[in-house]
Structure 1
Amino acid sequence: MTTQFSRRSLLRAFAATTVAAAPVMANATGLLRGAGDIRRLNMYNGRSGESLNMIYWIEGEYIAPALEEVNYFMRDWRTDGVIEINARTVDILAAAHNLMDTTEPYTLLSGYRSPETNAMLRRRSSGVASRSRHMVGEAADVQLQSRSINQMFQAARACNAGGVGRYSSSNFVHMDCGPVRSWGS
């Protein structure tokens, strides 16, 4: 299979590597409405030991190879299954991270979950939804050491862009791109 790159896609990829250290200044509302020049996702996956710190959006356009890398990074570590992660979920994660004004990467606890993984987790816990948004690439469970669960929860809620769950006893926050709602203690 031959892959052809347009001049524009090559310039975008080059820009992503050259502005990798540039800060993102947009607030969550502006970011989710397309304001600002770049969007960045900074995460660590404790299960795989992988890190991801990349620009995935420049001047109004998503960078397809960057989103493909996000898809792989957020794979189901139990099955190695990969699915397309909804870009709105990535936007919510990035916007909430910017609001918390930290350089610490999120620790990803759960991104995509295969139906088999979700069923296994449901057998172990009553807190796992049978129709989890994780199974369709629309959710992530994350934590930060430098911010409390409440701070993370409030930042994600301020985005007003999807579901936000606070799991204080398990020390993580759930973010998804479904209907705006919140839950947990």
Structure 2
Amino acid sequence: MVETRSSGMTRRGLLGAFAATTLGAAPTFSKAAGFLRGSGDIRRIRMYSGRTGERIDMIYWIDGKYIKDSVKEINHFMRDWRNDLVKEIDARTIDIMAASHNLLEVNEPYMMLSGYRSPQTNAMLRRRSRGVAKNSLHMRGQAADLRLASRSVSQMAKAAIACRAGGVGKYRGSNFVHMDCGQVRNWNG
């Protein structure tokens, strides 16, 4: 595993990624109540789970404020599907996912392979694979493993790395990208 570290701007980089996509994304959300009220400064997440069949497509942030009910739905969607345990997902992870998606300029939702993992699930996965960290950020609600059919692992990782806001891992063999809100770093590059 090759790991690179950067002390680049995290919050500013992430906000820049959103700012770069706001104008292009605004027409897509023209019917959103928050957009009609004000400046249109919004954040949206679109995902589906191949494991549960569930889909989510929602605006979760408007004009500088997270929408509590939307974030609660995201937490439920990103639960550990093996045992139905829900954990609060770190909003920074959701922001990284949404900003990366915007940079990719796709309408296709992410396929979420893994969001929150309970310690039991993480231990079981560790027994099956060398690539599962003992102290995975998935157990803290700070990571997601995602896939897009229309974009390569390299394209997805490049967008996430451009946010300069957390960890990005490329898993070409399994066709997914890991995104987290931990220290800025990337691996398998």
**In 2, are the aligned partners of 1:28 and 1:96 still within 8 Å (CA)?**
no
2:28 counterpart of 1:42: no
2:90 counterpart of 1:86: yes
- In the alignment, the residues of structure 2 paired with residue 62 and residue 42 of structure 1 have an alpha-carbon distance, to the nearest angstrom, of 16
Aligned to 1:69: 73
Question: Compared with structure 1, are the counterparts of its residues 101 and 28 closer, same or farther at alpha carbon in structure 2 (3 Å cutoff)?
Answer: farther
Equivalent residue in structure 1 for 2:181, among 159, 177, 180: 177
**In 2, are the aligned partners of 1:32 and 1:92 still within 8 Å (CA)?**
no
**In 2, are the aligned partners of 1:143 and 1:172 still within 8 Å (CA)?**
yes
Amino acid at match of 1:95: A
Aligned to 2:16: 30
Equivalent residue in structure 2 for 1:151, among 145, 155, 165: 155
Aligned to 2:172: 168
Question: Compared with structure 1, are the counterparts of its residues 86 and 80 closer, same or farther at alpha carbon in structure 2 (3 Å cutoff)?
Answer: same
Per-residue deviation, 1:30: 2.5
Amino acid at match of 1:40: R
Count residues in correspondence.
158
Per-residue deviation, 1:184: 1.1
List alignment gaps of at least 5 residues for structure 1. 1-26
Instruction: Report the 3-state secondary structure (helix = DSSP H, G, I; strand = E; otherwise coil) of the residue aligned with 1:170.
Output: coil
RMSD: 1.5
- In the alignment, the residues of structure 2 paired with residue 28 and residue 146 of structure 1 have an alpha-carbon distance, to the nearest angstrom, of 23
Detail structure 1 runs of 4+ shifted over 4 Å in the superposition: none
Aligned to 1:133: 137
- In the alignment, the residues of structure 2 paired with residue 182 and residue 30 of structure 1 have an alpha-carbon distance, to the nearest angstrom, of 19
Identical residues among aligned pairs (%): 63
- In the alignment, the residues of structure 2 paired with residue 31 and residue 143 of structure 1 have an alpha-carbon distance, to the nearest angstrom, of 20
- In the alignment, the residues of structure 2 paired with residue 30 and residue 156 of structure 1 have an alpha-carbon distance, to the nearest angstrom, of 12
What TM-score does the superposition give when structure 1 sets the normalisation length? 0.82
Amino acid at match of 2:56: L
- In the alignment, the residues of structure 2 paired with residue 147 and residue 111 of structure 1 have an alpha-carbon distance, to the nearest angstrom, of 20
List alignment gaps of at least 5 residues for structure 2. 1-12, 23-39
Instruction: Report the 3-state secondary structure (helix = DSSP H, G, I; strand = E; otherwise coil) of the residue aligned with 1:150.
Output: helix
